[in-house]
Chain A
């Protein structure tokens, strides 16, 4: 019973992490830039949901589309201000500009919301469902369902639509994509918008059970980074699987030992993967950006 409960919690946390890692890896593939503001975008999404809740006093699922649209707009703004002007400069310029965006978001959030932890409304409700003698929090199931839906929708767009083909071509070979008539700059803007929308969704999903503070993004960007490293640098399915594995590991070890031990073990595992299998679990896919 307890193991099942842990599994549900781990999968729910992993589903939210997967959205963070997905947004991170999409931007990474499209621009070759590591977006260090991704964790702070998650925080911004969570606080946006907190701010919207009194204005739209409805379940979180109703807030979700609003958060997605507003966060996509924030992603566009970020690309226009912090990526496009620097794209032909050395990579370290973008690296620093995304860190700057993260700091601006953190300080902006601190000014607007203060340092106290805040909770977003649950997606549907706070009840615990009893299924065949098992107690399952409704919010955990809702997180898994919503994250699966969003990741599935992203995969469908990428696999089945012309926009998705153009986004993938841009990620694989931007110069050749241009030579095929693909408006690469527009695709990069769209990618930033999707990445920020994913982060925003994760923020809304996490901010109910785990709360959100202006500094909570720092931990999340590290998780996204580890997920992408574990899954295989640049691999989209690898990032999702990596995120799920991290969350299951974190929840499992925390329950037996403690959260700090789980975090320490996580970073040790990361080091071991970097040494023993630097290409990650889906390393082959990295070469082909599959």
Chain B
């Protein structure tokens, strides 16, 4: 069976500086993959390149279709959801509007999906009418996650979801990620906290200086390979 996401020889960067150098990996439907590496390893750039937010070269296929010629919004409509680093909710919009803006065209579908998100994150239901800037960091992270789910994605790209959160809030967010993955959505999770990521992902891809230096089931990755991805050597 062909993978849901297939990346071949992906190169991307900012200006003249290369941040990804020949990255290849696949993600199967319903699979959760942790993307691990130190700061500057290229995790965020990889997720952005998948969405077309940074210029990239190489082959990107999603559900068999070539993503290369598609604009960001078209990639999202094909079933890719994105939770960016730093949450980036729309601060002047209400919680409900933050969710609805990312929803399907039909109002009835959107209303149903908002209720699903509220069921997953009951805190958001209570704050439904409040402006997003009033939410705590943890609530904003839940809103960002919920917003990404509104397009009914088959693949969810998560960029550092625990960043800036207290351990308790990070646990809550990762528990939600676990539930989303269990419901059948494939997840590509970029995270600096290897322990948290590996707790929800059975497979990991290790990135170092823009290159894949390890890829396989978590059990098969040695401590040495993990340390190498984070600290070099």
Question: A residues within 8 Å of B by Cβ?
Answer: 162, 165-166, 168-169, 172-173, 175-184, 285, 288-290
Contact yes or no, B101 A165, CB < 8 A? yes
Asked whether, in the complex, the Cβ of A180 is within 8 Å of the Cβ of B131, the reply is no
Count of residues in B whose CB is under 8 Å from the partner chain: 27
Residues of B with C-beta under 8 A to A168 = 90, 92-93, 97, 101
Bound Cα distance A290, B107 (Å): 24
CA distance A179 to B47 in the complex (A): 11
Report the separation of the CA atoms of residues A175 and B51 in the bound assembly, to the nearest whole angstrom. 11
Known A178-B73, A179-B51, A288-B131: A165·B88 in contact at CB below 8 Å: no
B152 to chain A, nearest CB (A): 11
User: Which B168-212 residues sit within 8 Å CB-CB of chain A?
Assistant: none
How close is A125's CB to chain B, nearest CB, in angstroms?
A: 41
Give Cα A288–Cα B77 distance, bound, in whole angstroms: 27
B134 to chain A, nearest CB (A): 10
A181 and B92 form a contact (CB under 8 A): no
**Residues in chain B within 8 A of chain A (CB atoms):** 51, 53, 71-73, 76-77, 82, 84, 88, 90-93, 97, 100-103, 105, 107, 110, 131, 133, 147, 150-151
A182 to B73, CA, bound (A): 6
A172 to B89, CA, bound (A): 9
Task: Determine whether the beta carbon of B82 is less than 8 Å from that of A169.
Answer: no
Quote the shortest CB–CB distance from B79 to chain A (angstroms).
10
Q: Which of A172, A175, A183, A285 sits near B93, CB closer than 8 Å?
A: A172
Residues of A within 8 A of B105 (CB): 162
Are the C-beta atoms of A165 and B97 separated by less than 8 Å? yes
Q: Could you tell me if A169 and B90 are in contact, using CB atoms closer than 8 angstroms?
A: yes
30 contacting pairs across A/B (C-beta < 8 A): A162-B100, A162-B101, A162-B103, A162-B105, A162-B107, A165-B93, A165-B100, A168-B92, A168-B101, A169-B90, A169-B93, A172-B92, A173-B88, A173-B90, A175-B53, A176-B90, A177-B101, A178-B72, A178-B73, A179-B51, A179-B53, A179-B76, A180-B147, A181-B77, A182-B73, A182-B102, A183-B73, A288-B131, A289-B92, A290-B92
- B91 cross-chain contacts in A, Cβ below 8 A: 172, 288-289
What residues of chain A lie closer than 8 Å to B133, measured between beta carbons? 288
Picked from A162, A165, A181, A290, the residue with its CB within 8 Å of the CB of B73 is A181
- CA of A165 to CA of B100, assembled, Å: 8
Q: Residue on A with the closest CB to B133?
A: A288
Most buried by B among A165, A166, A173, A288: A165
Contact of A181 with B102 in the complex, beta carbons under 8 Å: yes
Q: How far is the CA of A181 from the CA of B70 in the complex (A)?
A: 12
Q: Are B151 and A181 in contact (CB under 8 A)?
A: yes
Q: Which residues of A contact B71 (CB under 8 A)?
A: 178
Contacts A180-B101, A288-B131 supplied; 15 other A-B pairs, CB < 8 Å: A162-B103, A168-B92, A168-B97, A169-B90, A172-B90, A177-B90, A177-B101, A178-B71, A178-B72, A179-B76, A180-B150, A181-B73, A182-B73, A288-B91, A290-B92
